[in-house]
Chains A and B, each alone.
Chain A
Amino acid sequence: MAETQSPVVLSVADLSVSFKQGASVKTVVKAMSFDVLAGETLAVVGESGSGKSVMSRALLGLLPAGSADVSGQAMLSKQGEQVELLSLSDQSLRKVRGNHIAMIFQEPMTALTPVLSIGEQLMEGILTHQPLSRSEAFELAVSMLQEARIPEARKRMAQYPHQLSGGMRQRVMIAMALACRPRILIADEPTTALDVTVQAQILKLINTLKTQYNTAVMLITHDMGVVAEAADRVLVMRRGDFVEAGSVQQVFSKPKQAYTQTLLASVPKLGSSAKQPIATIAENDAAVPLFDVADLCVQFDVREGLFNRVRSRVHAVEQVSLKLFPGETLALVGESGSGKSTLGRALLNLVPSSAGAIRFRGRDITGWSASMMRPLRKQIQMIFQDPFASLNPRKTVGALVEEPLKLFDICSDSERKQRVGELFERVGLSADDMTRYPHQFSGGQRQRICIARAIACEPRVIVADECLSALDVTVQAQVIELLQSLQQELGISLLFISHDLAVVEQISDRVAVMYMGRIVEMGDTARVINRPQHSYTQRLLEAVPVADPTKASLLNRPLNNSEIPSPVRSIFEEIPRHNMTNITSIGEHYVADDSAAVAPSDVTEDVA
């Protein structure tokens, strides 16, 4: 915890950044002033386009010299002297970069040079700034990898980035950044690309090393949960402007600005917003389920060797059984690689299933070909994660929304235009927008267009695959509202695929937790989230950052440092039967029998 009397390590005054775009000048950061204190974590928060990343890069002179115009002052105090960063020559700035101020980035997959070994990349930074021999640098690099809790550190030195997982690469980045004991670590969305359990590990690692080395951390993030868990002080930005700053407790409990209040109100908080379950459905055994899936498996062949023989398979979905009832929302929750998206696609026969049965309204549709499925698609629609990618860029949005009406001959040619207009208005857009193209809309508007397209033919089921995760949190809240009102109005069932437990809690009646292709726990949302029984569900829930500094405890809890194992299995391997037991007599709460096997306790790491 930072004390108020901690010395200032970086003092920024009137920092502005603007970009020249042809004749026009766009100011991205406007007269920002703030201090970073020794050993504290300062969170810089803002939605996309707030200028937070640009600001951090400007401090180290990493913006393109030709087009970016940086003004203002940034005083760094190092070894008792003050250095003004923004007026330094590139050569003197190089002595600061990586030495006094280090940086890590959002995308661990692309942040390491693919053709150089981990060791080379670690050592070159050390050798640039410290008067060490190569062997001393090697030893320091190894010890940094060990500090970053990377198993078999010595062996990793000779490995290349592609041999490590995303979480491991981010650990390497951290080891690299802290090797020269910088005064400040700028972490630009360091956990955004990672799964929630890995995110918890990385946040904790940054915090541990921060305390150990007395390094200040400038944590740039959009996630209020991460802020509440990890930061001492907060700086809120919006479109390049300063909004407000203060201690975490202050900003979360008494936000002064309206924008901060909206931002905080939009964040779904786990354990506080349970949806009232639709009582009539889940308990009514007589109701015919829309989807009734039994023991569904989806496997992908892995071809290897000289003759491309199948030696192993990816078990993307393994022995999944579930039912989806009319009007309800069932959430599929899991981390990347858990098979939740594949399961969603398999239900629609968009990917072939390899075993098991899918029934839709009592009819067996397992293995139906594309042409057999076509008439059925009127009743089952899908919404995707990236609304821009899922709209053909060369069609007007009007034509795109009209397409399902044409395909299923829903209304006459003359009525169609009017119907498209109504759909636009229903999802909160104007009918005048019909003639525009997808790239002329914002992310939230595009997702509304995708929703209009999905409800055009009045389906019974919508499969929504991570349809909120590409959106800013305030936009996300609006789209959730839209989805819920549409569901009430049209009685659509929703299969909601998501990694975000807080959103799931808000929107779904029942939830199924997936891990390595299997459903490990399934039941009424409130039950599963408040009283998780399976060890994986527990681990997952523990890792979710809570956007409330009074309840935040992520950094104080012991954490499991294990990674999700690979779902690739040899073709000769015997796959054990997957059993689930209902542990309650009222309603449902199924738990897989393998709870103990999934999370061995011996990998749990002690708190430093």
Chain B
Amino acid sequence: MEQVIKTPSLSAGRLTWRPSRLAVLLGIVAALVIVALLAPLISPYDFEVMASGPRLSPPSWAHWFGTDEFGRDIFSRILMGTRLTLMVGLVSVGVSLGFGMLIGLIAGYCGGWPEKLLMRGMDVLFSFTEIVIALSLVAVLGPSLENAMLAIGIAAIPFYARVCYGAVLVEKKQVYVESTIALGASHFRVLFVHILPNVVPVMLVVATIGLSNAILATSGLSYLGLGAQPPSPEWGAMLASSKNYFQRAPWLLMIPGGCIVLIVLLFNVLGEQLRSVLDPRRKGES
């Protein structure tokens, strides 16, 4: 199954600083990371303590985001959940990016039988679709947050490999690669000094948007009960554990879900912004 994957060629774009939007977005990401790291220090209550307030109380000054069916403070749980969410994103994207780029670089640059073998394999995995790979792995390994994020990371490897492979092929065809070889540079130098810096921006964009997908997928698995297990403050698991109370306490539905939307939106917009900063259409500008 050879699907055509559009590989954005970012070869000509150079990072020109656009302080306004990109800086704001990166600032928000930095703030999120700080919140995640300091979560235990800045949360008003212990996220695990039950009855830190009345059960199912709506948002108030005492409990900004209200309390859940056990009287736990949702704001504190959301803060701890931020930590889990960012970790999930980083670990699974790390797994997919690491293996995917390795496979893509080898297949793209070497050509010949490594290319055929690796990309053929990726094609087969690709036609399983990510969710089925992830579900099968969870079925085999057992449901837990660690297994879920690992499974989602592994499931996305074929996608990253294909994008990286495509980007390497695009660069390999560029005249500057031939001109560098003609200059007398070694394959190692061509691949790592010349091609890689042109592939990294492409992968950076893909990985940023990939963070969104990983977070979405993990929260979905957790909601199904195949990822984080209650009483974990993972946002998907929070939704799963209070699903019988949505009618009486809509904030139990709206707040964790809204947080997922916002964080996913953040990384999607950041990815788009990076893409436009590294725009290939600058090519030919003189």
- Report which A residues bind B (CB closer than 8 A): 348, 350, 370-371, 373-375, 377-378, 381-382, 384-386, 388-395, 403-404, 407-408, 437, 439-443, 450, 453, 457
What's the nearest-Cβ distance from chain A to residue B91, in Å?
29
Q: A384-B178, A388-B284 are in contact. Are A394 and B14 (CB under 8 A)?
A: yes
Q: Write the residues of chain B forming the contact surface with A, with a CB cutoff of 8 angstroms.
A: 11-14, 174-176, 178-187, 189, 194, 197-198, 282-286
Q: Is the CB of B183 within 8 A of A437?
A: no
Distance, CA A395 to CA B286, complexed state (A): 16
Quick check: B183 and A407 within 8 Å, CB to CB?
Answer: yes
Task: Decide: B184 and A404 in contact? CB cutoff 8 A.
Answer: yes
Contact B186 A394 (CB under 8 A): no
Given A384-B175, A443-B286: A393 and B184 interface contact (C-beta under 8 Å) = no
In the bound assembly, the distance between CA atoms of A395 and B175 in angstroms comes to 15
Set of chain A residues within 8 Å of B178, measured between Cβ atoms: 350, 384, 390
Enumerate chain A residues within 8 angstroms of B182, measured Cβ to Cβ. 348, 350, 377, 381-382
- Is there contact, CB below 8 Å, between B185 and A382? no
Q: Given A350-B178, A443-B286, answer yes or no on A394-B183 (Cβ-Cβ < 8 Å).
A: no
Q: List 25 A-B contacts (CB under 8 A).
A: A373-B184, A374-B186, A377-B182, A378-B184, A381-B183, A382-B179, A384-B175, A384-B178, A384-B179, A386-B175, A388-B283, A390-B179, A392-B198, A393-B176, A393-B283, A394-B197, A394-B198, A404-B184, A407-B184, A407-B185, A407-B189, A437-B14, A439-B283, A439-B286, A442-B286
Provide the bound-state CA to CA distance between A370 and B188, in Å. Answer: 12
Q: Which residues from chain A contact B181 at a C-beta distance below 8 Å?
A: 350, 370
Nearest CB of chain A from residue B262's CB, rounded to whole Å: 30
Q: Which residues of the partner chain B approach A437 to less than 8 Å between Cβ atoms?
A: 14
B176:A390 contact, CB within 8 angstroms? yes
Query: Distance (Å) between the CB of A479 and the closest chain B CB?
Result: 16
A449 to chain B: closest CB distance in Å? 11
Contact residues in A for B175 (Cβ distance below 8 Å): 384-386, 389-390
- Smallest CB gap from B176: residue in A: A392
Q: Bound state CA distance, A390 and B286, in angstroms?
A: 15
Alpha-carbon distance between A457 and B182 when the two chains are bound, in angstroms: 12
Which of B14, B179, B189 has the most A CB atoms < 10 Å from its CB?
B179
- Chain A nearest CB: distance from B282 CB in Å? 7
Asked if B183 and A389 sit within 8 Å, CB to CB, the answer is no
Partner of B183, one of A393, A404, A442: A404
Please name all residues of chain A whose beta carbon is closer than 8 Å to the beta carbon of B185 when the two chains form the complex: 374, 403, 407
Known: A394-B14, A394-B198. A439 touches B176 (CB 8 A): no
Partner of B184, one of A374, A440, A443: A374
Q: What's the Cα separation between A450 and B178 when bound, in Å?
A: 13
B14 touches A393 (CB 8 A): yes
Contacts of A390 in B (CB 8 A): 175-176, 178-179
A373-B184, A439-B286 known; 17 new pairs, CB 8 Å cut-off, are A350-B178, A371-B186, A384-B175, A384-B178, A388-B283, A388-B284, A390-B175, A391-B179, A392-B198, A393-B13, A393-B176, A403-B180, A403-B185, A404-B184, A407-B185, A407-B189, A441-B286
A393 to chain B, nearest CB (A): 4
Find the A residue at minimum CB distance from B284.
A388
Is there an interface contact between A389 and B176, defined as CB atoms closer than 8 Å?
yes
**Complex Cα spacing A392 to B174, Å:** 9
A453 surroundings in chain B (CB, below 8 A): 183
Instruction: From the candidates A348, A385, A395, A439, name the one contacting B12 in the complex (CB within 8 A).
Output: A439
A453→B180 CA distance, assembly (Å): 10
Bound-state Cα–Cα, A84 to B182, Å: 57
Q: Is the CB of B286 within 8 A of A393?
A: no
> Is there an interface contact between A403 and B286, defined as CB atoms closer than 8 Å?
no
Contact check, B176 vs A391: say whether CB atoms are below 8 A apart.
yes
A394 surroundings in chain B (CB, below 8 A): 11, 14, 197-198
Residues of A within 8 A of B11 (CB): 393-394
A442 / chain B contacts, CB cutoff of 8 Å:
286
In the complex, what residues of A have CB within 8 A of residue B197's CB? 392, 394
B198 touches A393 (CB 8 A): yes
Contacts of A371 in B (CB 8 A): 186
